[in-house]
Amino acid sequence: MDLSEIFKIILIVLLIGCAVAVNLTPSLLQAVIIFMSYSSVMCLLWILMESPDLAITEAAVGAGVSGLLFLVTLKKIRREDENAEPGETGPAEGKGSRR
Amino acid sequence: MDFICNFPLFTIVLSLFSGVLCTMLKGRTAKYYTLLYEAALIAMLAAVLVYTSVNGDFTYVMGEFPAPWGNEIRAGVLEALMAMCFMIIMMCSILAGWKFLVIDIDETKINLYFVLINLMTAALMAMIWTNDIFTGYVFLEILTLTSCGILIVREIGRTTLAAVRYMCLNLLGSGLFLLGVVLLYDITGHLLMVPMHATIAEIFYSDAAMKPVTLALGVLTIGLSIKSGLFPFNFWMPDTYGWATPTSAAVLSALVSKAYIFLLFKIYYRVVGPQIFETLPIRKIIFILGIMSMIFGSISAMRKKSINRMVAFSSAAQIGYIYMGIGIGGTLGYAAAMFQILAHAFTKSLLFLTTPRLAEVSGDSLLFKNLQGSGLRRKDAGLYFLVGALSMVGIPIFAGFSAKLFFALAAADSDNLRILFLTMTALAISSVLNAMYFIRTLIRIYSSGRGGADISAPQQFAHMHNLESDVPDSRERVETMAGHLEYWIPMLILVAANLILGLNSSAVADLIQRGLMMFD
Amino acid sequence: MKNAFQRWLDGDIDLMANISDAAREHDHARADIKERDKKIAREIDSRRETVLMIAREREGLKMVYDVIAVICCVLVILVFMYIIAQLPLYGAENVRATTVAERYIEHGLEETGAINIVSGMILDYRAFDTLGESHVLFTALICVMILLRVDSKNQRKGFEDYYATMRETYFASEKDTILRTIGIFLVPCIFVYGIYVLLNGQNSPGGGFSGGAIMGAAMIIFTSAFGFDRVDRFFTLKLQTYVTFVALSFYSFAKGYVFFTGANGLENHIPKGTPGAILSGGLILPLDVAVGLVVACTMFGFYSLFRRGQIGGSLGRINS
Residue C168 pLDDT = 63
Helix (H) / strand (E) element for B61: namely: strand B58-62
The set of chains that have 3 or more CB pairs under 8 A with B is A, C
For residue B349, pLDDT over 60 is answered with: yes
Phi–psi pair at B281, nearest 5 degrees:
-70, -15
Amino acid identity of residue C104, one-letter, is: Y
CA distance C303 to chain A (A): 7
Q: Min CA distance, B218 vs chain C (Å)?
A: 11
pLDDT digits (tens, 9 = 90+) for C141-167: 999 998 888 776 666 566 666 666 666
CB B363 within 8 A of CB B457: yes
Is A98 a residue whose pLDDT tops 60?
Answer: no
**What pLDDT, on the 0 to 100 scale, is given for residue C312?**
72
A35 inside domain: yes
pLDDT of residue B33: 94
Q: In the structure, what pLDDT confidence band is assigned to residue B372 with cuts at 50, 70 and 90? A: confident
> Considering the domain boundaries, does residue A15 fall inside one?
yes
Considering only CB atoms, B9 lies closest to which of C45, C249, C260, namely C260
Q: Please judge whether A96 and B104 are an interchain contact, meaning their C-beta atoms are less than 8 angstroms apart.
A: yes
Of the partner residues B155, B161, B356, the one whose CB lies closest to the CB of residue A96: B155
Is A89 at the interface with chain B, CB within 8 A?
no
Across the strands, what pairs with C5? none
Are C304 and C311 in contact by the 8 Å Cβ rule? The answer is: yes
Q: Comparing C-alpha atoms, which of C164, C181, C292 is closest to residue C228?
A: C164
SS3 for C12?
Answer: coil
Q: Is residue A97 a part of any domain in this protein? A: no
Chain C residues closer than 8 Å to A65 by CB? 213, 216-217, 220, 299, 302-303
The predicted structure's pLDDT at residue C32: 61
Q: Is B123 within 8 Å of C150 (Cβ atoms)?
A: no
Least confident piece of the model among B276-285, B422-431, C230-239: C230-239
Compute the distance between CA of residue C173 and CA of residue C190 in angstroms, rounded to an integer: 21
Under 8 Å between Cβ of B420 and B324: no
Q: How far is CA B356 from the centre of its chain?
A: 19
- For B80-91, the pLDDT digits (tens) are 999 999 999 999
pLDDT in tens, B177-233: 999 999 999 888 889 999 999 999 988 988 777 888 999 999 999 999 999 988 888
**Residue B406: pLDDT over 90:** yes
Q: Check pLDDT > 50 for residue B471.
A: no
Residue A96 lies in a domain: no
Model confidence at C36, pLDDT cuts 50, 70, 90, reads: low
> What pLDDT was estimated at residue B365?
76
**Bond preceding residue B458 cis, omega within 30 of 0:** no
Which of C33, C129, C283 has the highest number of chain B CBs within 10 A, making it the mutation to test binding with B? C129
Question: What is the extent of the structural domain holding A31?
Answer: 3-77
User: How would DSSP label each residue in B133-201?
Assistant: HHHHHHHHHHHHHHHHHHHHTS-SHHHHHHHHHHHHHHHHHHHHHHHHHHHHHHHHS--BHHHHHHHHH
Backbone φ and ψ for B84, nearest 5 degrees, come out as: -65, -45
The residue among B83 and B156 whose pLDDT is bigger is B83
Tell which residue, C291, A30, A47, C310, has the closest CA to residue B108.
Answer: C310
Confidence of residue B429 (pLDDT cuts 50, 70, 90): very high
How far is the alpha carbon of B459 from chain C, nearest alpha carbon, in Å? 11
* Least Cα separation, residue B471 to chain A (angstroms): 9
Q: Which residues pair with B155 in a beta bridge?
A: none
User: Does C77 score more than 70 pLDDT?
Assistant: yes
Instruction: Please state the ipTM of this predicted complex.
Output: 0.89
Residue B509 has pLDDT above 70, yes or no: yes
Say if residue B23's pLDDT is above 50: yes
Which residues, 6 or more positions from C305, have their beta carbon under 8 angstroms from its beta carbon? C144, C145, C148, C149, C311
DSSP summary character for residue A94: S
Per-residue model confidence (pLDDT) at position A22: 92
* H or E stretch covering B71: strand B71-75
Lowest mean pLDDT, pick from B327-336, B486-495, C228-237: C228-237
Q: For position A89, what pLDDT does the model report? A: 39
Instruction: Give the span between the Cα atoms of C141 and C135, in whole angstroms.
Output: 10
B49 vs chain A: nearest CA distance in angstroms? Answer: 40
Domain ranges of chain C: 1-87, 115-308
- For residue A81, what pLDDT is reported? 47
Band of residue B464 on the pLDDT scale cut at 50, 70, 90: very low
Would you tell me how many other CB atoms lie within 10 Å of the CB of residue C134?
26
Q: Which residues pair with B73 in a beta bridge?
A: B60, B130
Task: Determine, yes or no, domain membership for A60.
Answer: yes
In this complex, the residue of B13, B146, B202 whose CB is nearest that of residue C139 is B146
Residue B468 predicted with pLDDT over 60: no
Q: What are phi and psi of B132, to 5 degrees?
A: -140, 135
Per-residue pLDDT reduced to its tens digit, A3-20: 989 999 999 999 999 999
Which residue among B5, B109, B461 sits closest to C146, beta carbon to beta carbon?
B109
| Bridge partner list, B75 | B58
Across the interface, whether the CB atoms of A95 and B366 are under 8 A apart is answered no
Enclosing H/E stretch for B74: strand B71-75
Radius of gyration of the CA atoms of chain B, in A: 22
In chain A, which residues have their Cβ closer than 8 Å to the Cβ of C202? none
Dist CA B455 CA B461 (whole Å): 14
A96 CB near a chain B CB, below 8 Å? yes
- Total count of domains within chain A: 1
Nearest chain C residue to A86, by CA:
C4
* pLDDT for res C273: 77
